[in-house]
């Protein structure tokens, strides 16, 4: 009887153990992978697009964590801020592994993660902006401090990475920009572990053996990175401005409109993919184009056309970051577009909107207009000076009193003078020898 009871107990234990193992395997199979992203080299729009794509997939795949391996000297601040925003707002656990260095914009990306690991000999910081103006330092310092505070790190350390006037006791004197080595990052709470490789990082955070899905840049991300280059963006804006000016001049909706549309699609499309441009910027641009078209084909006073131009400028300004650099880039692109347009303008026909925006009628003398009285009729005539000239004064001629000036000498009252020159309102006279 006892053997039968023992046998039943053993059977139940074995079934329970097998069931637990099966459930555990099922749970592990159902648990999501680790999404791995590599940020290497200069940070640009292409890497911002890659991170946005990978983070969206991490959420849909119920990833256990996102591991960003970073090795960069820095790059475009707007792209780094876009990456920072996606990472810091992600519901998925994020881990940054600094393989060699995370400087400048790379430091901002690193600080946005929930966890940080660093390779032996790695470093974080050195984020002084270029150009180093009071405004750029203040803006980037605030961005760093807010990011550090959001992820539970000392914001004073982050500020010292941007503003060298602050320093950080024991690590950087005032006047020195802060950059943390691997062991220094551990000391100040800016790294959780020093790890030699990815496997050690995953093991430290309890992710050993978990499937790793790696994300790398495809042609879309590479294209977005190339289009996010400031020189390329300036070129595209020049094409957009030139197309708008040409269509206002010709109202033709032809080749210029097609080229401008392609340039706008490339400009806003790349900024949309990288997360820099949103619906507001695109709506402003499209709305501006529609206002110009409305002005072209309806009677008006140019108000809709001007409103459209303002809307286009606003959309580009916001897309470029709404800062001094954006103003500079807009100004350069517009000046280049205007110079090219002026070269082409003589070959372009005029439209109704152009005639409303640009005054082309001239009030000429041949058309019966004059900006002043015509004094040329008095040239060569003689009159008398009732008040004298010192050297300016008046003279009487043919019953008319005129304001005149001598050639430099003083002329006594009641002397005869002759008109020798008339230039607009200026009448020059000379003393007549009556001896």
Q: State the average pLDDT over residues 142-147.
A: 94
Take residue 176 and report the two structure tokens written for it: 């020195």
Three-point CA angle 216, 124, 51, nearest 5°: 25
Domain 376-431 annotated CATH 2.40.50.140: yes
Q: What is the pLDDT of residues 15-65, one digit of tens each?
A: 455 455 544 443 344 468 999 999 888 888 888 888 888 888 888 888 899
Q: What is the pLDDT of residues 72-87, one digit of tens each?
A: 998 888 888 889 999 9
What does the DSSP assignment read for 78-137?
HHHHHHHHHHHT-SS-EEEEEEEEEETHHHHHHHTSSEEEE-TT-EEE----SS--HHHH
Decide: helix, strand or coil at residue 70.
strand
Lowest mean pLDDT among 220-224, 307-311, 378-382, 422-426: 220-224
Take residue 270 and report the two structure tokens written for it: 């790349």
Q: State the average pLDDT over residues 137-154.
A: 93
- Cα 295 to Cα 247: distance, rounded to the nearest angstrom: 12
407 pLDDT above the threshold of 50: yes
pLDDT at residue 277, rounded to an integer? 66
Mean pLDDT, the chain, whole residue set: 80
Q: State the average pLDDT over residues 218-237.
A: 77
- The answer to whether the beta carbons of residues 353 and 248 sit under 8 Å apart is yes
192 pLDDT above the threshold of 90: yes
Residue appearing with tokens 């957009």: 240
Rounding to the nearest 10 degrees, give the CA dihedral for residues 400, 404, 410, 412: 0
What does the DSSP assignment read for 356-371?
HHS------TTTT--S
What is the percent of the chain where pLDDT is above 70?
A: 80
Which residues, in sequence order, are bridge partners of residue 180?
Answer: 124
How many H helices and E strands in the chain?
Answer: 15, 13
pLDDT at residue 57, rounded to an integer? 85
Q: Where are the domains of the chain?
A: 8-218, 229-357, 376-431
Q: Indicate the pLDDT class of residue 391, thresholds 50, 70 and 90.
A: confident
179 pLDDT above the threshold of 70: yes
Three-point CA angle 365, 366, 367, nearest 5°: 90
> pTM for this one?
0.60
Q: Indicate the pLDDT class of residue 157, thresholds 50, 70 and 90.
A: very high
Architecture category of domain 8-218 in CATH: Alpha-Beta Complex (3.90)
Q: Indicate the pLDDT class of residue 347, thresholds 50, 70 and 90.
A: low
Lowest mean pLDDT among 108-122, 145-159, 391-405: 391-405
- CB under 8 Å to 389, separation ≥6 — which residues? 395, 404, 405, 406, 410, 411, 417, 429
* Higher pLDDT among residues 28 and 179, named by residue: 179
Most confident option among 107-111, 235-239, 403-407: 107-111
Most confident option among 181-195, 215-229, 320-334: 181-195
* Higher pLDDT among residues 389 and 320, named by residue: 389
pLDDT at residue 95, rounded to an integer? 95
Q: State the average pLDDT over residues 224-238.
A: 80
- The answer to whether the beta carbons of residues 59 and 32 sit under 8 Å apart is no
325 pLDDT above the threshold of 90: no
pLDDT at residue 25, rounded to an integer? 43
- Cα 312 to Cα 308: distance, rounded to the nearest angstrom: 6
Q: Indicate the pLDDT class of residue 431, thresholds 50, 70 and 90.
A: confident
Distances 398 to 19, 335, 393, 395 between C-alpha atoms, Å: 126, 55, 17, 10
Lowest mean pLDDT among 132-136, 157-161, 198-202, 215-219: 215-219
Closest CA to 116 of 51, 40, 28, 180: 180
Most confident option among 58-62, 181-185, 240-244: 181-185
If phi > 0 it is left, if psi is from -120 to 50 it is alpha, else beta; for residue 266 that is alpha
pLDDT at residue 116, rounded to an integer? 96
Residue appearing with tokens 């059977």: 11
pLDDT at residue 28, rounded to an integer? 43
């Amino acid at each position: 009887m006892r053997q039968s009871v023992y046998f039943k107990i053993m059977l139940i234990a074995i079934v329970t153990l097998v069931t637990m193992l099966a459930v555990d395997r099922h749970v592990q199979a159902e648990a999501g992978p680790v999404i791995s992203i590599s940020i290497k080299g200069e940070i640009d729009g292409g890497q911002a697009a890659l991170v946005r794509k990978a983070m969206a997939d991490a959420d849909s795949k119920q990833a256990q964590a996102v591991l960003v391996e970073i090795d960069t000297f820095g790059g475009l601040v707007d792209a780094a801020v876009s990456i920072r925003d996606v990472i810091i707002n992600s519901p998925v656990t994020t881990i940054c592994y600094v393989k060699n260095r995370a400087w400048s914009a790379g430091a901002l990306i690193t600080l946005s993660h929930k966890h940080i690991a660093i390779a032996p000999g790695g470093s974080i910081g050195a984020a002084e902006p270029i150009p180093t103006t009071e405004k750029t330092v203040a803006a980037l310092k605030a961005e760093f401090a807010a990011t550090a505070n959001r992820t539970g790190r000392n914001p004073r350390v982050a500020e010292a990475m941007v503003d060298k006037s602050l320093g950080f006791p024991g690590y950087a004197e005032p006047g020195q920009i802060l950059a943390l080595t691997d062991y220094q990052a551990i000391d100040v709470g800016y790294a959780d572990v020093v790890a030699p490789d990815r496997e050690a990082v995953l093991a430290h955070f309890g992710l050993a053996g978990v499937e790793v899905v790696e994300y790398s840049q495809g042609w879309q991300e590479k294209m977005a990175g190339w289009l996010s280059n400031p020189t390329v963006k300036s070129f595209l804006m020049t094409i957009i401005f030139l197309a708008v000016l040409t269509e206002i001049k010709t109202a033709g909706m032809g080749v210029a409109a097609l080229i401008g549309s392609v340039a706008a699609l490339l400009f806003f499309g790349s900024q949309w993919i990288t997360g820099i441009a949103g619906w507001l910027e695109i709506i402003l641009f499209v709305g501006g184009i529609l206002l110009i078209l409305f002005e072209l084909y309806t009677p008006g006073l140019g108000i809709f056309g001007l409103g459209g131009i303002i809307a286009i400028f606003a959309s580009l300004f916001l897309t470029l970051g709404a800062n001094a650099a954006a103003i500079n880039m807009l100004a350069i692109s517009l000046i280049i577009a205007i110079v090219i347009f002026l070269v082409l303008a003589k070959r372009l026909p005029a439209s109704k909107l152009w005639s409303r925006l640009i005054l082309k009628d001239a009030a000429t003398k041949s058309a019966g207009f004059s900006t002043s009285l015509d004094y040329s009729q008095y040239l060569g005539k003689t009159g008398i000076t009732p008040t004298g000239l010192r050297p300016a004064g008046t003279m009487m001629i043919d019953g008319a009193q005129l304001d005149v000036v001598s050639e430099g000498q003083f002329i006594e009252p009641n002397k005869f003078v002759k008109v020798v020159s008339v230039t607009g309102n200026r009448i020059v006279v000379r003393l007549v020898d009556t001896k």
